[in-house]
Amino acid sequence: MTIKDTAEEWEVRATQTPFVGNKTSVRTDDVVMPDGSVVHRDYQVHPGSVAVLALDDLGRVLVIRQYRHPVRHKLWEIPAGLLDIPGENPLHAAQRELYEEAHVKAEDWRVLTDVFTTPGGCDEAVRIFLARDLSEAEGQRFEVEDEEADMELSRVPVDELVRGVLTGELHNNCLVVGVLSLIAAQHGDGLDALRPAEAPWPARPFEA
């Protein structure tokens, strides 16, 4: 038996969009179940995101601390952002987010993992990149605003982040998945065996 997620789409009899926001919306589908019954499914429609686990030469991960209003927490996270442009190349978006949030560039990029963050209630897909060979970006820093104006930036050893994840002190989805995937890759075939940065992403097809 092959353990692998597969694309599948059940019949939708009707659909409505009761809410449209600035970046996301809420959709209601009438979905036909295997027994022929029809049920309502409400979910958030999301453009998709990218995140960057930036690993420096000392084995530290670049993290930011940012206020997240829905959960009323300041969370330690890895740089991340929305795929604002339909069909946007996720690598280019990740490079932009690393520059804007940390004023850092990287020479070596790999795909660390792809995830659906909350597939029971949202169609958000996130591609998490591994970025290495880091250096300070050129030019002026990107001018941040709103919650990002209060961000803190740090570089934290991987082992310390793993401890924080396993003790329940760190909660951000992309940080948790990224850090544990990094450890798994290091103890598996190695970081150089990860998928190339331009690897296909069926959940969010893009132009090379």
Across the strands, what pairs with 77?
64
Kindly report which listed range (6-15, 135-144, 150-159) carries the lowest average pLDDT score.
135-144
- CATH code of the region 49-196: 3.90.79.10
Mean per-residue pLDDT for 198-204? 95
Does residue 195 carry a pLDDT above 90? Answer: yes
Q: What is the pairing mode between strands 195-196 and 104-116?
A: antiparallel
Does residue 108 carry a pLDDT above 70? Answer: yes
107 catalytically annotated: no
Does residue 150 carry a pLDDT above 90? Answer: no
According to the model, what pLDDT value does residue 208 have?
Answer: 72
According to the model, what pLDDT value does residue 84 have?
Answer: 85
Rg of the Cα atoms in the chain: 19
According to the model, what pLDDT value does residue 62 have?
Answer: 98
Detail the DSSP E strand segments found in the chain: 12-20, 25-32, 38-45, 49-54, 60-68, 73-77, 80-82, 104-116, 125-136, 152-157, 195-196
According to the model, what pLDDT value does residue 147 have?
Answer: 61
Q: Structure tokens of 60?
A: 């530290």
**pLDDT digit string, tens, across residues 68-97:** 999 999 999 999 999 988 888 999 999 999
Does residue 43 carry a pLDDT above 70? Answer: yes
According to the model, what pLDDT value does residue 181 have?
Answer: 98
Mean per-residue pLDDT for 20-36? 96
Active-site residue identified among 101, 148, 169, 207: 148
Average pLDDT, the chain: 94
Inter-residue contact 177 to 113 (CB < 8 Å): yes
Does residue 140 carry a pLDDT above 80? Answer: no
Mean per-residue pLDDT for 21-29? 95
**Contacts with 196 (C-beta within 8 Å, 6 or more apart), sequence order:** 110, 111
Domain extent listing, the chain: 12-45, 49-196
**pLDDT digit string, tens, across residues 153-170:** 999 999 999 999 999 999
According to the model, what pLDDT value does residue 145 have?
Answer: 61
According to the model, what pLDDT value does residue 148 have?
Answer: 64
